[in-house]
């Protein structure tokens, strides 16, 4: 459809244009999406196509799925859109509990190796599926776990998966994890919610796992308002994920379509009456976690800009790293995993001990001077109130996780930031340091 200027004005296109930055007055958000006219046109298109525009898997969903599959190349089987990255993680873990995987399937009481330094919804699905998280510490430079410790933590017959996120877009050593999981015939779930666009040894993060996940929350590399995706490597995993995502149904017809199998009223099921409609047969205890056409409309425009978004995140990260290098005596800066090119989610700084100042003092100073900050999510998740009383395994001490919980924070590198804002962030940290040397 053709969208006229009046309609575009209604959607506040002018708001997407850069407003003047006033140092010390304009708040610098640690995360922000970058949107343009293309996204607005797609949203207007969906809205003006109602009610057909409300199809769960309409033209924009199909187009975005196709583009995302093309982006990941031959390393993926299929993509299923969800309503969030957290839901994508829930689907990924639930999928490996399915009985179709036989002895490989995770059963209540089995273990999944993960880390405590991260976001809750990497770990929550493990607990929600009555599995036991087995926690490892992370390296203080890269925030990723030691590969040898992963291998040593595997208990044959009890460990059924490794599920680890790429922290702030920095890839874990997924190549080595893939080899370990293959050796022990266990699943590798790659939480790539923070790392869309990252690479390891020239290969895209999100292509190493049996299952990988993405988030399209506004803070991430692609913004769908909300939304996420589950990416699978095998037809069986895709079928299981799609069933759990769609109420647990047995039918594989796309929404709004019937009789794809040609046996809608003749699919066998011993416990249901003869001729029972296959669209209403349920083989799993599932959810409704599907994505929406509105999110897909945004994402279909966003993915065309992904390479630019990733390049800007890397550029802003490099600017901060060079500008703050003079303070290396006081800070440990996050380092890229060897042979990786992160699609940075944020710029993390860890205060070295002993220090003449605390993280709280610095973070409060930055916030007072309009520089937004964030911690590394849950810090040490085992210190969070929600995990009190859960069953878990700690396969190593967690000194670095505790250190991060106490001393680390990050500031923004998103593509909406301009050089003047990066320079202001550097100078504001410099002003604080001048007072505390």
Tens of pLDDT, residues 305-348:
999 999 999 999 999 999 999 999 999 999 999 999 999 999 99
Average pLDDT, the chain: 93
Q: What is the pLDDT of residue 429?
A: 98
Proportion of the chain above pLDDT 70, given as a percent: 94
Q: What is the pLDDT of residue 14?
A: 46
Beta-bridged to residue 163, according to DSSP, are 189
250 falls in which pLDDT band (50, 70, 90)? Answer: very high
b/e string for 366-387 if b means 16 or more Cβ within 10 A?
beebbbbbbebbbbbbbeeeeb
pTM of the model: 0.94
Mean pLDDT of 355-365: 98
Beta-bridged to residue 350, according to DSSP, are 332, 408
Q: What is the pLDDT of residue 19?
A: 62
Q: What is the pLDDT of residue 10?
A: 43
User: pLDDT (tens digit, 9 = 90+) per residue, 255-285?
Assistant: 778 898 899 999 999 899 999 999 999 999 9
Cα angle vertex 363, ends 360, 369, to 5°? 140
Cα angle vertex 275, ends 271, 280, to 5°? 70
52 falls in which pLDDT band (50, 70, 90)? Answer: low
Give me the residue spans of the domains in the chain: 20-32+306-436, 41-302
Taken in order 365, 368, 370, 376, is the CA torsion positive or negative? Answer: positive
* Weakest-pLDDT range from 50-54, 93-97, 136-140: 50-54
Q: What is the pLDDT of residue 253?
A: 85
Cβ count near 169 (within 10 Å): 30
Selected catalytic residue, list 220, 278, 369, 414: 220
Q: 């994890």: which residue's tokens?
A: 177
User: Which class would CATH give 41-302?
Assistant: alpha beta
The correct CATH number of 20-32+306-436 out of 3.90.1150.10, 1.10.600.10, 2.40.50.140, 3.30.420.40 is: 3.90.1150.10
Active site residue 278: no
Is the pLDDT score of 117 beyond 50? yes
Q: How far apart are CA 319 and CA 251, in angstroms?
A: 51
* Weakest-pLDDT range from 14-28, 90-104, 197-211: 14-28
Is the pLDDT score of 2 beyond 60? no
Mean pLDDT of 220-229: 97
Q: What is the pLDDT of residue 125?
A: 98
Mean pLDDT of 141-166: 97
Mean pLDDT of 411-419: 97
Q: What is the pLDDT of residue 54?
A: 60
Widest distance between CA atoms in the chain = 80
Q: What is the pLDDT of residue 3?
A: 47
396 falls in which pLDDT band (50, 70, 90)? Answer: confident
Mean pLDDT of 56-85: 92
Examine residue 266 and say whether the peptide bond preceding it is cis (omega within 30 degrees of 0): no
Is the pLDDT score of 6 beyond 60? no
């Amino acid at each position: 459809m053709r969208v006229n200027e009046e309609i575009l004005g209604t959607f506040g296109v002018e708001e997407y244009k850069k407003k003047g930055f006033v140092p010390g007055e304009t708040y610098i958000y640690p995360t922000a999406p970058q949107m343009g006219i293309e996204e607005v046109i797609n949203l207007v298109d969906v809205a003006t196509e109602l009610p057909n525009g409300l199809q769960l898997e309409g033209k924009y969903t199909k187009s975005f799925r196709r583009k995302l599959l093309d982006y990941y190349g031959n390393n993926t089987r299929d993509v299923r859109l969800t309503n969030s990255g957290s839901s994508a993680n829930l689907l990924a873990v639930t999928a490996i509990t399915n009985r179709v995987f036989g002895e490989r399937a995770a059963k209540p009481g089995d273990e999944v190796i993960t880390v405590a330094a991260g976001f809750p919804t990497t770990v929550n699905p493990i607990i929600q599926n009555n599995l036991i998280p087995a926690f490892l510490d992370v390296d203080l430079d890269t925030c990723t776990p030691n590969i040898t410790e992963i291998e040593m933590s595997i208990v044959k017959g009890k460990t059924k998966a490794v599920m680890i996120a790429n922290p702030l877009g920095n890839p874990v050593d997924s190549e080595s994890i893939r080899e370990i999981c293959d050796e022990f015939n266990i699943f590798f779930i790659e939480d790539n919610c923070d790392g869309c666009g990252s690479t390891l040894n020239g290969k895209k993060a999100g292509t190493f796992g049996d299952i990988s996940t993405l988030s399209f929350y506004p803070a991430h590399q692609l913004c769908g308002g909300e939304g996420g995706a589950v990416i699978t490597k095998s037809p069986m995993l895709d079928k299981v994920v799609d069933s759990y995502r769609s109420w647990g149904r047995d039918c594989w017809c796309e929404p709004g379509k019937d009789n794809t199998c040609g046996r809608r009223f003749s699919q066998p099921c011993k416990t249901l009456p003869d001729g029972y409609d296959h669209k209403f047969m349920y083989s799993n205890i599932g959810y409704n976690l599907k994505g929406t056409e509105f999110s897909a409309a945004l994402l279909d425009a966003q993915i065309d800009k992904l390479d630019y978004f990733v390049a800007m995140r890397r550029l802003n990260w490099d600017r901060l790293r060079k500008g703050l290098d003079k303070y290396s005596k006081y800070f440990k800066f996050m380092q890229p995993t060897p042979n990786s090119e992160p699609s940075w989610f944020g710029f993390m700084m860890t205060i070295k001990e002993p220090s003449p100042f605390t993280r709280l003092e610095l973070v409060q100073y930055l916030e007072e001077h309009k520089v937004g900050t964030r911690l590394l999510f849950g810090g040490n998740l085992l210190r969070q109130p929600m995990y009190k009383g859960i069953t878990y395994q700690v396969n190593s001490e967690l000194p670095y996780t505790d250190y991060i919980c106490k001393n680390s924070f990050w500031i923004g590198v998103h593509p909406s930031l301009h050089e003047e804002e990066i320079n202001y962030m550097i100078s504001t940290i410099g002003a604080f340091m001048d007072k505390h040397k």
